[in-house]
Structure 1
Amino acid sequence: MQLFYTPDIEPAHPQYFLSEEESKHAVRVLRLEAGSEVQLIDGRGGFYTAVIHDAHPKRTILNITSVVNGFNQRNHYLHLAVAPTKNIERLEWFLEKATEIGIDEISLIISHRSERKEVKTDRLNKIITAAIKQSIKAYHPVLNEPVKLGQLLQQPFNGQKFIAHCEPRDKLNLRDELALQGRYLVLIGPEGDFTPAEIESALQSGFKPITLGESRLRTETAALEACFEINFLNRL
């Protein structure tokens, strides 16, 4: 299967022109020719089948033959708010794997103990795009620009809100608290964890404290664990 990401495609149009970058990849790298069948995803749930009409390396023309809307749409909405790691490659790894597993929105939060306070999202979005193509997902996760934790706590969210932290306080298990097929927002802190004051602010903002197991996890591992658990519980 040759899959292309085409966020500007219009379902009602019978033809689509691949971008110059994608055209070059299709013709020069994949050696596709007129008559070759390809698949397209628009990042909004649309999965398209098309046939190459003109294999031009700068503007390949496709004839759309079928459209499936809501392709493999999941039964829940997951928003993870995670502190960027000092080593950006670890954040990139998390975004790739979380996208493959299933996630809808990611917020990068800056907290008191954050070791990285600036992030360029262009490259991160490219990693997410590559991951949806690799895992054949028609929905492109939203990656929000970095925001301070206090600002995120003030944003409205219609769903369950959780915070994972390492403080020795009573915590809940996701399997006991999760309302299935719902909407979820989970906070994951930096390597040094949230401060006690930040935890208290989150609790006062309606977040419930959760445990992700007995091990002390790195930021990106904790975020991926939360992503996996929520997806797994909603598949049962």
Structure 2
Amino acid sequence: MNHFFCESISNEIGILNEQDSHHAIRVLRLKEGSQISVSANDGRVYLAEILNGSKNELRFKCSHLIREEIRPLINIAITPTKSNDRFEWFLEKATEIGVANIYPILSANSERKIYKIERGEKVIMAAAKQSKKGFLPHLHELEKFSTFITKNNTMPKYIGHLVKGPKKTLHAINFKEENLFLIGPEGDFNEKELDTALKAGFQAISLGDEVLRTETAGLQVAVAAALLR
């Protein structure tokens, strides 16, 4: 069954946007009476039936609630990898597992200096449709480390880095509350960045003894949040 997202559902009725309507009618050959699953990005996933539609506007009516997801509480700030494929793999898997926000960060040792979110948003949408999610992660614009780190964020904040010293383990973190995790490039954060983050209230976390790729570290945090919540 094909899954779609819409802006809103009112009195069990919703409308797909022009792009999805065209895909449903012209590509998937769906028609009046065809069943789809839909979500308005509020966690609720409904079984719905197509009422009528054209390539510009497809209307549907929800028949019943399939499931209601718990809103993700994990937020991940991460440096995009040099390889687009590796970063998009992270976006895809993080979407399937469930995260609230993804913040691409530009640090001193970042291998990729430019990242346009349009392609990433398409990856996220495709992954969410394939896995029939009720929530879409919010992918933010690329932001400099120095700007992001100074934002007044009241949630617990953690930073993964390679410098030896006291660190919390993932098992010691309360994943039942909203958290922010900062994952650096494979060259790690430099000394100034790490010092700035710690002074801004970030706590050091351990992701194990191994040196992980950036996208693997980000995914490990997402999986831990899903399993330990």
- After TM superposition, the score normalised by the length of structure 1 is 0.89
Quote the Cα distance in structure 2 between the aligned partners of 1:14 and 1:187: 40
Corresponding residue of 1:232: 227
Aligned residues of 2:14 and 2:61 also touching (Cα < 8 A):
yes
Letter in 1 for 2:211: R
Name the % identity: 38
The CA deviation string for residues 14-34 of structure 1, in whole angstroms up to 9 with x for no partner, is 533333322232223322221
Specify the code of the residue in structure 1 equivalent to 2:69: N
2:20 corresponds to: 22
Aligned to 1:207: 202
Would you say 1:72 and 2:64 are equivalent positions? Answer: no
| CA deviation string 1:84-131 (max 9, x = no partner) | 111111110000001111111010111111111211101101111111
Contact 2:73 2:175 survives alignment (8 Å): no
> Residue 2 in 1 paired to residue 6 in 2?
no
In structure 2, the residue matched to 1:123 is 119
Q: Which amino acid aligns with 1:16?
A: G
1:228 deviates by 1.1
Find the aligned partners of 1:119 and 1:102 in 2 and give their Cα distance.
22
Q: Which residue of 1 is the match for residue 29 of structure 2?
A: 31
Q: Which moved more, 1:183-192 or 1:59-68?
A: 59-68
What is the rounded CA distance, in whole Å, between the counterparts of 2:21 and 2:143 in structure 1?
36
Out of 198-207 and 22-31, give the one that drifted further.
22-31
Q: 2:91 aligns with which of 91, 95, 106?
A: 95
**Paired residue for 2:39, among 41, 49, 62?**
41
- Residue 58 of structure 2 corresponds to residue 63 of structure 1: no
Is residue 50 of structure 1 aligned with residue 45 of structure 2? Answer: no
Deviation at 1:13, TM superposition (A): 4.5
- Paired with 2:164 and 2:152, the residues of 1 have a C-alpha distance of 28
The amino acid across from 1:61 in the alignment is R
Residue correspondences, number: 229
Q: Describe the SS at the equivalent of 1:154.
A: coil
C-alpha distance in 2, partners of 1:156/1:67? 38
1:195 is matched with 190
Deviation per CA, 1:29-88: give whole Å up to 9, x if none: 3222211121111223242332112243343332333457x92114x5111000111111
Specify whether residues 183 and 18 from structure 1 end up closer, same or farther in structure 2 by C-alpha distance, changes over 3 A only.
Answer: closer
Name the Cα RMSD after superposition: 1.9
Q: Is the 8 A contact 2:103 2:139 kept in 1?
A: yes
Letter in 2 for 1:128: I
Unaligned 5+ runs, structure 2? none
Aligned with 1:162 (options 158, 163, 176): 158
Which structure 1 segments of 5+ residues have no match?
Answer: none
Structure 1 counterpart of 2:218, which letter?
A
- 2:149–2:200 Cα contact (<8 Å) kept: yes
